[in-house]
Amino acid sequence: MNLFQPVLGSRIVKTTTVFGAMLLCAGNSVASPRHVERRFKVDAHPIVTIHNPNGVLTVKAWSRPEVKLVADIQSDKVDFDAEQSGNRVEVNARAVSSSISPEELRADLEIFVPEDTELQIHNDSGSVDVADVMGDMAVDTIAAGVALEDAAGYLTIKTVAGSIQCVRCAGRLEITSVSGNVKLLEMRSYNVRAQTWAGDMFFDGEFLPNGTYRLKNYSGLIEVRFSPADSFDLSATSVRGKVDSQANLAPPAHSRGYESKFSHSLFGVLNQGKAKVELVSFDGTINIHKRD
């Protein structure tokens, strides 16, 4: 879809800043920061898509039926536009020059959205912070760290090197990273699948009945905190590392997948075993420790 193409019958608000033209008019090129503010009226369940190569992105929920965008763009080598098509708002920052420093590429964005907004975020480097948004969310970064707070819905986070932190996240969570650490705190999610190759993983949250929790890394620490009242069926396996558990587990009813002479494994059930917890590492240590 061409974002710049007018669509008959739909409400379109577009702000496009093309600095090449401005430079031609000015006749003198001076890189200068810009401050942009835009507001877009939206209906229920709007979709907001953000593409930003570098910068701090903050998204917060508010009670108004509108999306507010505040952008600080560091240089005129970045083309920036925000437009609305129906109930979708697209925000795009893009380098217009190949010779650009990370600082010149930077655009810091603060965006306020209704609570039920669906977010699609691509922020290559910098950071991504999202708070109180309950809609589905897909966050894709390269080096940017991602921090979600009080989020819900179907949450998909993918980074290459960026660390990931979720606090009080509910719904379903899928995380993949190459070298980012993963920290999941006060979780209320019924389905967690998290994988990183070279990162530490920490989980401290509720194990909901019928919930599934799978953490996997290659190297690094996997640590899970539990309380004695929790109910889960545990499978913990590390090929080269140790598995250390403070849980008083009953033997499992059935044999498990990776039970083999080549791995250090621990299988067992705490209380009724209502949730399924699977922890897998190749070279890392796995700790299942009591919550303080």
Partner 1 sequence: MPAMQCSDFQDHLEPWMEGQCPPEAEAHFRTCGNCRGLLADLEEIRLTGRTLGEVEPPPRVWSAIREQIEEEGLVGARGWRNWLPSIGMVWPRPAVAGATLVVLIAGAFLLGIEARNYNNAQRWTQGTEAATRPIQTNLGNFELHEVSALHGPNQVVNASFQKNLQIVDKYIAMCEKSVREEPENELARDYLYGAYQQKADLLAEMSERGENPQ
Binding residues for partner 1 (CB under 8 A): 51-54, 93-95, 97-102, 105, 122, 124-125, 142-143, 160-161, 178-179, 197-198, 218, 237, 239, 258, 260, 262-263, 280, 282-283
What backbone phi and psi angles, to 5 degrees, belong to 26?
-70, -30
Give the residue among 192, 189, 196, 158 at the shortest CA–CA distance from 281: 196
Distances in Å between the Cα of 188 and the Cα atoms of 37, 209, 219, 234, 292 are 35, 11, 26, 18, 18
> How far is C-alpha 113 from the geometric centre of its chain's CA atoms?
17
Q: Which is nearer to partner 1, 152 or 182 (CB)?
A: 182
Minimum gap (Å) between residue 41 Cβ and partner 1: 28
Q: How far is the CB of 79 from partner 1 (least distance, A)?
A: 10
Q: How many CB atoms lie within 10 A of CB 152?
A: 22
Q: Least separation, in Å, of the C-beta of 60 and partner 1?
A: 23
Considering only CA atoms, give the Rg of the chain: 23
- Rounded to a whole number of angstroms, the minimum distance from the CB of residue 268 to partner 1 is 19
DSSP assignment string, 35-66: EEEEEEE--SS-EEEEEEEEEEEEEEEESSSE
Smallest distance, partner 1 to C-beta of residue 195, A? 8
In angstroms, what is the minimal distance from the CB of 241 to partner 1? Answer: 12
Q: Of the two residues 122 and 183, which places its CB atom closer to partner 1 in the complex?
A: 122
Rounded Cα distance between 78 and 97, Å, is 8
C-beta of 225: minimal distance to partner 1 in Å?
Answer: 25
* 158 vs 168 by CB, closer to partner 1: 158
State phi, psi for 25 to the nearest 5 degrees: -65, -40
Residues 6+ apart with CB under 8 A from 144: 57, 123, 124, 125, 126, 127, 128, 159, 162
- Match 């920052």 to its residue by tokens: 93
Nearer Cβ to partner 1, position 210 or 255?
Answer: 255
